[in-house]
């Protein structure tokens, strides 16, 4: 019998028939390998939404591979047999390399350092070399980023983003940025005012089919004690659905995306965001086609430039940038803790059982849908853990667990770097800190909350406001060195010693858990 030539490994976030690992695929000589492994749902305590999305999308992709005539070796979590009981991707691959004995093992560059090194070690132990193909889904390579970063004292998104706009000719007119400006950030900070957002376009929801329904049953059985629920599961799990979600976003939401990018509103999880991150991260959609669709909508006069630019900056800018940070900084990055934060994550982060209205909103919708928009992640959940002083590694594990779009290359720099300042300023030029008044101003639910964002002391003091001042007091020497924090730190001089003492006492009460838990 002829020996298997290439075994192409496909991970749960590489669901693209056009991926570069398939470039030389020949169905007569090659085969694809995919596996559902328990460890991928347990190394952090993954939410049911996240597990179900990955499994359902993988099973749908397996169907697409078979329809395309590509031979496939696929392990399901509910299979029986000696490989099925193996917990890790590495152990399953080791067993299969013995029986399949391929000449070569090929894969598209993985998104996760841990998984990459696990699989590489297994392949090398089998006497083979793991051939890694560039992930063409991204606009840049990791070495592009390394070249950009080389010799720079500090890394800032803006320069990288401008380079990419020029190199890929995106939103450019005769070599100049469209509209004469690179960035419309200052136009993108509107709130919904006192009247609220009014009628919002409904979310693109996809009714579970038989594959998704069987995955839902499986997850509810095998991972019954994992966080969240699956009652509302409606994420795109196929390329066709992802393309429909993209079109709906372009038609119905993009026009107002820029304007309300930073806004909050109680009970409204979806607002004008795209909800496309999971489809992009699973590679059901390519970042290139998403950016192109947004630019085309602008060129056709359907959406204003501020929205198209704001949206494109998130993908061409932030998304590429954080990937570069992750792959150039790992493995040490995950251990960084520049502020020496050592508190534990409050247990109610896993239940939403808090009397702080903004956090209750963000946590409840996170557990229900596996989704929160950027400002909720950065300035509600992330801000709270930063101010409380939670160990960044615990915060990272939480974010990686609960969101459907959570894959380490994008989640870790956002959490540890941008949100928790754990890398000491590599990702963000200053810690994103604010009082409860910021949340109130952006449309947070302060009116219906038992706390008052204007108060920093006393029983009704908003925990954010108390902890903000406590953060400045605790980190004053470090923050004073940062020019962008100068104004905030200067305000400390207006506080008397007894006011500072009162803040510290209340902050300690919050840290002991005596404030914040719903009664």
Which residue, 102 or 444, is less far from ligand FAD as judged by CB?
444
Should residue 357 be labelled a site residue for ligand SF4 when binding is judged by CB under 6 A?
yes
| C-beta of residue 426 within 8 angstroms of C-beta of residue 324 | no
Should residue 414 be labelled a site residue for ligand FAD when binding is judged by CB under 6 A?
yes
d(CA 16, CA 61): 8
- Reference 296, options 135, 160, 176, 178; nearest CA is 178
Should residue 341 be labelled a site residue for ligand SF4 when binding is judged by CB under 6 A?
no
Per-residue string for binding with ligand FAD, 344-373, x by CB under 6 A? -----------------------------x
Should residue 41 be labelled a site residue for ligand FAD when binding is judged by CB under 6 A?
no
| C-beta of residue 235 within 8 angstroms of C-beta of residue 55 | no
Segment contacting ligand FAD by CB under 6 A, of 346-354, 404-412, 488-496, 507-515: 404-412
Per-residue string for binding with ligand SF4, 397-436, x by CB under 6 A? ---------------------------------------x
Q: Closest approach of Cβ 73 to ligand FAD, in Å?
A: 29
Which residue, 254 or 467, is less far from ligand FAD as judged by CB?
254
Which residue, 9 or 356, is less far from ligand SF4 as judged by CB?
356
Q: Closest approach of Cβ 131 to ligand FAD, in Å?
A: 27
Should residue 276 be labelled a site residue for ligand FAD when binding is judged by CB under 6 A?
yes
| C-beta of residue 216 within 8 angstroms of C-beta of residue 230 | yes
d(CA 325, CA 146): 9
Should residue 318 be labelled a site residue for ligand FAD when binding is judged by CB under 6 A?
yes
DSSP state at residue 346: P
Should residue 241 be labelled a site residue for ligand FAD when binding is judged by CB under 6 A?
no
Q: How many residues bind ligand SF4 (CB under 6 A)?
A: 15
Per-residue string for binding with ligand SF4, 458-487, x by CB under 6 A? ----xxx-----------------------
Task: Find the helix packing angle between 463-474 and 497-511, rounded to 10°.
Answer: 120
Should residue 362 be labelled a site residue for ligand SF4 when binding is judged by CB under 6 A?
no
Which residue, 228 or 453, is less far from ligand SF4 as judged by CB?
453
Among 37, 52, 123, 315, binds ligand FAD (CB under 6 A): 315
Partner interacting with residue 451 (select from ligand FAD, ligand SF4, none; CB below 5-8 Å by kind): ligand SF4
| C-beta of residue 252 within 8 angstroms of C-beta of residue 201 | yes
Among 50, 92, 203, 319, binds ligand FAD (CB under 6 A): 319
Length of the chain, please?
Answer: 519
d(CA 420, CA 378): 9
Q: How many residues bind ligand FAD (CB under 6 A)?
A: 28
Q: Closest approach of Cβ 363 to ligand SF4, in Å?
A: 12
| C-beta of residue 31 within 8 angstroms of C-beta of residue 7 | yes
Should residue 132 be labelled a site residue for ligand FAD when binding is judged by CB under 6 A?
no
Should residue 346 be labelled a site residue for ligand SF4 when binding is judged by CB under 6 A?
no
Hunting for tokens 């590694």 — which residue is that? Answer: 393
Hunting for tokens 């598209």 — which residue is that? Answer: 108
d(CA 111, CA 133): 12
d(CA 422, CA 149): 19
Beta-strand pair 172-173/176-177 = antiparallel
Q: Closest approach of Cβ 400 to ligand FAD, in Å?
A: 7
d(CA 102, CA 219): 32
Which residue, 52 or 322, is less far from ligand FAD as judged by CB?
322
Partner interacting with residue 411 (select from ligand FAD, ligand SF4, none; CB below 5-8 Å by kind): ligand FAD
Segment contacting ligand FAD by CB under 6 A, of 137-145, 166-174, 175-183, 409-417: 409-417
In the range 433-462, which residues lie near ligand SF4 by CB under 6 A? 436, 439-440, 444-446, 449, 451, 453, 462
Residue 234 phi/psi, 5-degree rounding, is: -150, 25
Burial class of residue 300, CB neighbours in 10 A (0-12, 13-18, 19+) = exposed
Partner interacting with residue 464 (select from ligand SF4, ligand FAD, none; CB below 5-8 Å by kind): ligand SF4
| C-beta of residue 314 within 8 angstroms of C-beta of residue 272 | no
Should residue 475 be labelled a site residue for ligand FAD when binding is judged by CB under 6 A?
no
Q: Compute the radius of gyration of the chain from its Cα atoms.
A: 24
Q: Which residues contact 93 (CB under 8 A, 6 or more apart)?
A: 9, 33, 35, 119, 122, 123
Checking phi first, is residue 227 left (phi over 0); if not, alpha (psi -120 to 50) or beta? beta
Q: Which residues contact 329 (CB under 8 A, 6 or more apart)?
A: 413, 423, 426
Which residue, 274 or 435, is less far from ligand FAD as judged by CB?
274
Q: Closest approach of Cβ 513 to ligand SF4, in Å?
A: 15
Beta-strand pair 6-9/176-177 = unpaired
Q: Closest approach of Cβ 21 to ligand FAD, in Å?
A: 22
Characterize 458-467 residue by residue with b for buried, 16 or more Cβ atoms within 10 angstroms of its Cβ, and e for exposed: eeebbbbbbb
In the range 366-385, which residues lie near ligand SF4 by CB under 6 A? none
d(CA 447, CA 441): 11
Q: Closest approach of Cβ 369 to ligand SF4, in Å?
A: 20
Which residues contribute to the site for ligand SF4 (CB under 6 A)?
Answer: 356-358, 436, 439-440, 444-446, 449, 451, 453, 462-464
Which residues contribute to the site for ligand FAD (CB under 6 A)?
Answer: 273-277, 280-281, 311, 314-315, 318-319, 322, 373-374, 377-378, 382, 399, 403, 405-406, 410-411, 414-415, 418-419
């Amino acid at each position: 019998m002829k020996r298997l030539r290439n075994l192409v490994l496909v991970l749960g976030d590489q669901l693209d028939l056009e991926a570069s690992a398939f470039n030389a695929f020949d169905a007569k000589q090659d085969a694809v390998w995919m596996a559902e492994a328990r460890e991928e749902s347990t190394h952090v305590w993954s939410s049911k939404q996240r597990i179900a999305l990955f499994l359902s999308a993988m099973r749908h992709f397996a169907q697409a591979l078979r329809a395309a005539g590509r031979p496939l070796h696929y392990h399901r979590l509910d299979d029986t047999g000696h490989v099925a009981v193996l917990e890790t991707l590495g152990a399953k691959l080791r067993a299969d390399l013995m029986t399949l004995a391929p000449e070569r093992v090929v894969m598209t560059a993985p998104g996760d350092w841990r998984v990459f090194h696990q699989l590489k070690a297994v392949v090398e132990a089998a006497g083979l070399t793991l051939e890694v193909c560039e992930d063409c889904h991204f606009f840049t390579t990791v070495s592009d980023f390394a070249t950009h970063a080389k010799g720079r004292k500090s890394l800032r998104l803006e320069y990288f983003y401008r380079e990419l706009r020029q190199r890929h000719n995106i939103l450019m007119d005769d070599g100049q940025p469209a509209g004469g400006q690179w960035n419309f950030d200052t136009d993108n900070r509107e709130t919904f005012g006192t009247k609220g957002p009014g009628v919002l376009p409904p979310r693109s929801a996809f009714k579970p089919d038989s594959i998704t329904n069987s995955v839902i049953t499986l997850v509810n059985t095998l991972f019954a004690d994992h966080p969240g629920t699956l009652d509302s599961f409606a994420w795109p799990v196929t390329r066709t659905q992802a393309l429909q979600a993209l079109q709906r976003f372009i038609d119905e939401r993009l026009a107002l995306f820029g304007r309300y990018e930073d806004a909050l509103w109680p009970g409204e999880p979806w607002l004008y965001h795209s909800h496309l991150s999971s489809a992009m991260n699973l590679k059901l959609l390519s970042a290139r086609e998403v950016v192109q669709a947004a630019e085309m909508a602008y060129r056709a006069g359907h959406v204003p430039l501020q929205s198209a630019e704001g949206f494109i900056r998130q993908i061409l800018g932030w998304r590429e940038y954080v990937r570069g940070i992750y792959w150039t900084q790992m493995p040490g990055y995950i251990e960084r803790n520049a502020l020496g934060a050592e508190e534990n994550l409050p247990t109610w982060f896993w239940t939403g059982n808090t009397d702080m209205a903004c956090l209750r909103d963000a946590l409840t919708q996170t557990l229900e849908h596996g989704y929160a928009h950027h400002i909720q992640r950065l300035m509600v959940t992330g801000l709270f853990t930063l101010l409380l002083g939670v160990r960044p590694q615990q915060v990272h594990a939480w974010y990686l667990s609960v969101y459907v779009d959570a894959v380490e290359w994008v989640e870790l720099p956002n959490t540890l770097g941008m949100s928790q300042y754990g890398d000491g300023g590599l990702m963000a030029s200053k810690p994103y800190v604010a009082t409860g008044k910021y949340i109130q101003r952006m449309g947070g639910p302060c009116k219906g909350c038992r706390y008052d964002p204007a108060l920093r002391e006393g029983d009704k003091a908003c925990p954010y406001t108390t902890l903000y001042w406590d953060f400045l007091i605790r980190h004053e020497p470090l923050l004073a060195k940062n020019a962008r924090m100068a104004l905030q730190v200067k305000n400390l001089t207006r506080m008397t010693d007894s006011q500072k003492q009162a803040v510290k006492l209340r902050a300690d009460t919050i840290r002991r858990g005596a404030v914040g838990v719903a009664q």
